[in-house]
Chains A and B, each alone.
Chain A
Amino acid sequence: MGIEIEQPCVELSNVAVSETHGEDSPYFAGWKAYDENPYDELSNPSGVIQMGLAENQVSFDLLEKYLEEHPEASTWGKGAPGFRENALFQDYHGLKTFRTAMATFMEKVRGGRVKFDPQRVVLTAGATAANELLTFILANPGDALLVPTPYYPGFDRDLRWRTGVNIVPIHCDSLNNFQITPEALECAYKDAEAMNFKVRGVLITNPSNPLGITIPRSVLEEILDFVTRKNIHLVSDEIYSGSVFSSSEFTSVAEILEGREYKNAERVHIVYSLSKDLGLPGFRVGTIYSYNDKVVTTARRMSSFTLISSQTQHLLASMLSDEKFTENYIETNRERLRKRYEMIIEGLRSAGIECLKGNAGLFCWMNMSPLLEKPTREGELKLWNAILHQVKLNISPGSSCHSSEPGWFRVCFANMTEHTLEIALQRIRHFVERIRTQTESV
């Protein structure tokens, strides 16, 4: 083999070696435990049940039925007549039929209360890409975005990793059901200033992940007033807008803007995706809807790095243009999610566990603080470990979502069958009984 010559290590970039991708966090142990011992109804009924994944699996049958009844949607039709045109299509404007269908779908999800212009729809490969792309456009490295806590852990990667932008939390707590207050907004702004970060915008998720609640109209008005006063942007990630259990309970920032006749609208940008509402995360379908012309133009150019496969655009254009299908889907999906939600809330309540009163999303925000040994982050992690290894449920601890109060957990309910959910609830009941018995006997 010859003499080994020590190779000097060539450095990778700072971005490549940083940990901002977030995957070295302790919560990864939960995923590992699941991967090593995944629950299966038949083959592994005592395995770890995955309740950390916000996936919507309750309405696939509706999609499958659509495909069976509409062979023309089948990739390129019989004999593949549209194939070559589709295969060549890489225009970053996206397929017009698809953009139009997306705009229409977004309108339907908002009960027709607001209109969306297909020319303002920019397509990206998933909301992950949309959020990063917007951050590149709205902020310079070292700047900050204000984000209400608790928030989706993936934001740490999506908003910060390659962009070099900081997240400064807007603290929310259970005293007022985790609502965003003007005081909290001002406080976060001052925190950023104290750290010498220039604040470029506020990013909200509405409905909220992990809280599973919609933001009330009055709060949205306050947030809009705040960003206008500070002359900064507002990004509203409305990825769960179709997962609201009752349509009338969701107010989109688009509706507020319409009410204000679009005054100051050019600082507002909406992110959407089909990963949650339609349960199609694999297809990588994200959009940015911006009221700012320059943002639309720039975002469109930047989307070259992350376009949606034309094959997928073609399929979804067909599906989402079918108004009868989409109306029925939206309604049925809502109803099924609502039922699931009620099932889990009831099940937890019968075990003596309360949740934040939610009205949207694929998860509930569960309060286990009474069971903590110590009301600290360590106490929460200890409880989480017990739930993972003894109860064999992978749920998400609030600290992974930057919650300032220990003891809250996000529990997903839409990525499994009802039967599995029953099993999970039984396990929780037994666990809580065991703890109560132990505490009482001490």
Chain B
Amino acid sequence: MALLNKNTHQLLSKIATNDKHGENSPYFDGWKAYNSNPFHPTKNPQGVIQMGLAENQLCFDLIEEWIRNNPKASICTKEGVNCFKYIANFQDYHGLPEFRKAVANFMSKVRGGRVRFDPDRILMSGGATGANELIMFCLADPGDAFLVPSPYYPAFVRDLCWRTRAQLIPVECHSSNNFKITTEALDEAYNKAKEDNINVKGLIITNPSNPLGTTMDRETLKSIVGFINEKNIHLVCDEIYAATVFRAPSFVSVSEVMHEIEHCNSDLIHIIYSLSKDLGLPGFRVGIVYSYNDGVVNNGRKMSSFGLVSSQTQHFLAALLSDENFVERFLAESSRRLAARHSHFTKGLEKVNITCLPSNAGLFCWMNLRSLLKEKTFEGEMMQWRLIINEVKLNVSPGSSFDCSEPGWYRVCFANMDDETVDVALKRIRAFVGKETGKPVELKRCKSNLRLSFSSRRFDENVMSPHMMSPHSPMPHSPLVRAT
């Protein structure tokens, strides 16, 4: 139709023509490899297995059952259509009161009821992607900086910096202390920024951590709250994985700890949340900003007009999350299934001496392949990663894409597939390790017949391969589209 006039390229804004959308990164190759050759147990068993997608597919059956039993939650069914007009017309940026109340209660339950949330402090946004951007617009001017511990979720660059024009300053964490954040590291990063005349407005942490899969211990969290109070900067806690904690230690939220710090200025504390990971509903775009700062709540609420949650979805979720029995059962069962999946996967890796960072949360593990690096450099990691993509045929995410300071770490997602696919992945990893170490791979259990048989029907019912998820999409998926 229209030819791209080269003049008009210059007619776009700086934001439109810079790289901060993040999609020009080299890691795209992993996604390309997957998209052009996606694994399917029967149709394409040699394809690439998607392990770069932090999705929670383990508990859809529970939600489906609830939907079947609660037709009123939909404004399309005959039981629920009497609400259609009111809901379709409802565009108040405060959000449906019953939705906010249900989310507040859910957040409280996820924290074991140890803290209560005020529904009036809940702001909606277009997924956590929108929520993170919104809070930055509220807290940082162009050029201001936020400290972020590394390794961190790659799309933070887009979410926090692209349109806000803020910048991120990584705070390095190291494997020597299991990647814990230290006040020394924070102080060092903060002071260096000051020397460079950069205005630090805050610190953003993800707890539980992506990509580490660990929850922050109480002492570290308290020291962080102390740090930001001392420097008088904001603290944004992205707690999007809060309900993916599957074993001890239990989750400690900043909301619990802030009252234990003397003279904590609650105006500095903000929580980001979403239902994309805990409930496995990324398509519904439910992002939440919970701030203890009235100015942020009042003005952020006006800003939420740019990314409100569909009233149809608010209505549905208000019903789902108000069902206390369902919520309790769901949280318990989800934890149990995640624990089982994590255990199965990490034990499978251990059989070939691959360790992961000990973790208790998340939809992934932080796998250590340092001993197999030919060169202990990031070039070495890239080479190893390409081998894994092209020969082992697993799309895993290399640590450098998370700005990790040490080469050889990989984030490997395990909750977006069924048990059989996990076993195929493990088999391939074992074969890879055998080749790399030159040793035959010994298994504790000997299986004479390694051919895994599937009922393809069961596969389809239990999991959606990401390839099948959007069969109609004409263009390759960006990793950032699928929220790495």
Chain B 445-484, CB-CB to A under 8 Å as 1, else 0, gives 0000000000000000000100011101111011011110
Interface membership of chain A positions 47-67, coded 1 if the CB is closer than 8 angstroms to chain B and 0 otherwise: 000000001010010011001
30 A-B pairs in the complex with CB atoms less than 8 angstroms apart:
A7-B267, A12-B296, A17-B295, A23-B302, A55-B89, A57-B89, A63-B84, A87-B60, A89-B283, A90-B127, A91-B481, A136-B13, A137-B16, A138-B16, A143-B13, A157-B302, A265-B1, A266-B3, A282-B88, A291-B2, A292-B2, A293-B2, A302-B162, A304-B126, A305-B129, A305-B130, A305-B159, A306-B130, A307-B285, A311-B283
Minimum C-beta distance from B266 to chain A (A): 9
Which of B159, B280, B306 has the largest count of A CB atoms less than 10 A from its CB? B306
Can you list, as one digit per residue, whether each of B124-149 has a CB less than 8 Å from chain A (1) or not (0)?
Answer: 00110110010001111110100000
Q: Which residues of A contact B283 (CB under 8 A)?
A: 86-90, 309-311
Cβ contacts under 8 Å, A89 to chain B: 282-283, 469-470
- Find the B residue at minimum CB distance from A56: B89
Binding site for A on B (CB under 8 A): 1-5, 7-9, 11-16, 21, 23, 55, 57, 60, 63-64, 67-68, 71, 74-78, 81, 84-85, 87-91, 126-127, 129-130, 133, 137-142, 144, 158-159, 162-163, 201, 232-234, 262-263, 265, 267-268, 276, 280-285, 293, 295-296, 299-300, 302-303, 305-313, 316, 464, 468-470, 472-475, 477-478, 480-483
List chain A residues, Cβ under 8 A from B55: 88
**Closest-CB distance, B419 to chain A (whole angstroms):** 17
Complex Cα distance, B9 from A141, in Å, reads 18
Q: Which residues of A contact B84 (CB under 8 A)?
A: 60, 63-64, 67
Number of A-B residue pairs with CB-CB distance less than 8 Å in the complex they form: 293
With A84-B57, A88-B283, A262-B2: A137-B78 Cβ-Cβ less than 8 Å = no
CB under 8 Å from chain B, chain A span 278-292? 279-284, 291-292
A68 with B81: CB separation less than 8 A = yes
Instruction: Give the shortest distance, in Å, between A228 (CB) and chain B (any CB).
Output: 11
Give the chain A neighbours of B81 by CB distance below 8 A. 64, 67-68
Which of B14, B74, B263, B305 sits near A75, CB closer than 8 Å?
B74
Q: Which residue of chain A has the shortest Cβ distance to B475 in the bound complex?
A: A93
The CA of A430 and the CA of B40, in the complex, are separated in Å by 74
In the bound complex, residues from chain A placing their C-beta under 8 Å from that of B133 are: 305
Which residue on chain A has the smallest CB distance to residue B136? A13
Q: A161-B303, A280-B88 are in contact. List 5 more A-B contacts (CB 8 A).
A: A12-B293, A13-B144, A16-B299, A284-B310, A306-B306
Cβ of A111 < 8 Å from any Cβ of B?
Answer: no
Give the most central of A10, A76, A308: most B CB within 10 Å: A10
A139 touches B295 (CB 8 A): no
Cα separation A192 to B51 with both chains bound (whole Å): 52
What separation, in Å, do the CA atoms of A306 and B311 have in the docked complex? 14
Task: Give Cα A153 to B267, complex, Å.
Answer: 31
Is B137's CB under 8 angstroms from A311's CB? no
Kindly list chain B residues whose C-beta atoms are within 8 Å of the C-beta of A93.
Answer: 470, 473-475, 481
- In the complex, the answer to whether A162 meets B2 with C-beta atoms within 8 Å is no
- CA A118 to CA B262, docked complex, whole Å: 57
Say whether A275 contacts B299, CB under 8 Å: no
Whole-angstrom distance from the CB of B403 to the nearest CB of chain A?
A: 20
Please choose the segment from A122-130, A168-176, A214-222, A344-352 that sits at the chain B interface, where 4 or more of its residues have CB less than 8 A away: A122-130
Chain B CB within 10 A, most for which of A68, A79, A306: A306
Known: A67-B84, A298-B16, A311-B312. A91 touches B158 (CB 8 A): no
**Nearest A residue to B266, CB-CB:** A7
Query: Is A267 on the interface with B (CB-CB < 8 A)?
Result: yes
A140 and B14 contact, CB distance less than 8 A = yes
Docked CA distance A95–B473 (Å)? 7
Determine if A8 is an interface residue (Cβ-Cβ < 8 Å). yes
* Cα–Cα, bound, A162→B306 (Å): 10
A232 to B478, CA, bound (A): 30
User: When the two chains form their complex, are residues B67 and A125 in contact, meaning their CB atoms are under 8 A apart?
Assistant: no
Task: Tell me the smallest distance from the CB of A34 to a CB of chain B, in Å.
Answer: 13
* A196 contacts across to B, CB distance below 8 A: none
Query: Given known contacts A279-B89, A294-B9, A306-B306, is B472 in contact with A96 (CB within 8 Å)?
Result: yes
1/0 contact trace for A257-272 toward B, CB 8 Å?
0000010111100000
Cα–Cα distance between A307 and B14 once the two chains are bound (Å): 23
Residue A83 lies at the interface, judged by CB distance under 8 Å to chain B: yes
Min Cβ gap A372→B in Å is 32
For A24-66 the 0/1 string (1 means CB < 8 A from B) is: 0000000000000000000000000000000101001001100
CA distance A83 to B60 in the complex (A): 8
Contacting residues, chain B, for A96 (C-beta < 8 A):
470, 472-474
Judge whether A190 is part of the interface by a CB distance below 8 angstroms: no
The answer to whether B12 and A294 touch across the interface, beta carbons within 8 angstroms, is yes
The reply to whether B4 and A293 contact each other, CB–CB distance below 8 Å, is: yes
Residues 1-19 of A at the B interface (beta carbon under 8 Å) = 2, 5, 7-10, 12-17
Which A residue's beta carbon lies closest to that of B8? Answer: A266
Contacts of A88 in B (CB 8 A): 55, 57, 280, 282-283, 464, 469
Contact A138 B306 (CB under 8 A): no
Does A392 make an interface contact (CB < 8 A)? no
Partner of B263, one of A5, A129, A138, A157: A5
Please, how many angstroms separate the alpha-carbon atoms of A97 and B60 in the complex? 23
Taking a contact as CB atoms under 8 Å apart, the answer to whether B306 and A128 are in contact is: yes
Residues 139-175 of chain A, each 1 if its beta carbon lies under 8 Å from chain B, else 0: 1110100000000000001000110000000000000
In the complex, chain B residues whose CB is within 8 Å of the CB of A73: 76
Alpha-carbon distance between A364 and B224 when the two chains are bound, in angstroms: 57
Question: Is A117 interfacial (CB-CB < 8 Å)?
Answer: yes
In the complex, the chain B residue whose C-beta lies closest to that of A309 is B310
Cα distance, A136 to B468, chains bound together (Å): 33
Which of B11, B78, B263, B309 lies at the interface centre, i.e. has the most chain A CB atoms within 10 A of its CB?
Answer: B11
Instruction: Report the bound CA distance from A274 to B113 in whole Å.
Output: 40
Measured CB to CB, the nearest residue on chain B to A232 is: B11
Q: Which of A15, A68, A267, A302 has the most CB of B within 10 A?
A: A15
Across the interface, B11 reaches (CB within 8 A) one of A13, A86, A231, namely A231
Asked if A80 and B64 sit within 8 Å, CB to CB, the answer is yes
Q: From residue A226, how far is it (CB to closest CB) to chain B in Å?
A: 15
- Do A75 and B67 touch across chains, with their CB atoms under 8 A apart? yes
Residues of chain A within 8 A of B464, CB atoms compared: 84-85, 88
A21 to chain B, nearest CB (A): 4
